[in-house]
Amino acid sequence: MAYDFYFPEEYYRCMDCDAQYEDDDEIKEDWKCTKCRGEIIVYTNSKSKDRPYVIIRRFAENVSKQDLVILPTHRDSYSVINNRFENGKHHIALKGHGVIKADDDDWFNCIWGRWSGKQEDLD
């Protein structure tokens, strides 16, 4: 099962150099800035009752205990208890959900915070 998913509206910005990207074509291979190799922050705007998320996309091997991940089928967030590699898969234990198995190229939406959802606040 793939755990990666996109939100209806997303805005991309580098955490380090503040470079902005109109779409993910340049960055989706590794979710790193093409200018400085910093992590990309994704500002979501989902039109739901919840305030939009600020997320960081991490590949399965980089998901760690301090992360809070959102699963595509539930859209709820789960705390990561641990992540271990066994038999060619990453076994990621999520509090209140159980263990999920992910491949190296699966990425996860990890919550970094929330924002207003107003695009003008990004300028």
Task: Please give the full DSSP string across 19-50, using - where no structure is assigned.
Answer: -EESSSTTTTTTTB-TTT-PBEEEEE---SSS
- In angstroms, the CA 60 to CA 69 distance is 11
pLDDT tens-place string over residues 67-88: 999 888 766 789 999 999 999 9
Q: What is the pTM of this model?
A: 0.88
The pLDDT value recorded for residue 46 is 65
- Give the tokens for residue 41: 């922050």
Q: pLDDT category, 123, cuts 50, 70, 90?
A: confident
Higher pLDDT, 12 or 123: 12
pLDDT of 2 over the 90 cut: no
pLDDT higher at 93 or 66: 93
* Interval 6-55: pLDDT, tens: 888 899 999 999 999 999 999 999 999 999 999 999 999 866 556 788 99
Q: How far apart are CA 52 and CA 10, in angstroms?
A: 10
Can you tell me the mean pLDDT for 95-106?
Answer: 94
| 107, 90 contact by CB (below 8 A) | no
| Confidence (pLDDT) at 49 | 56
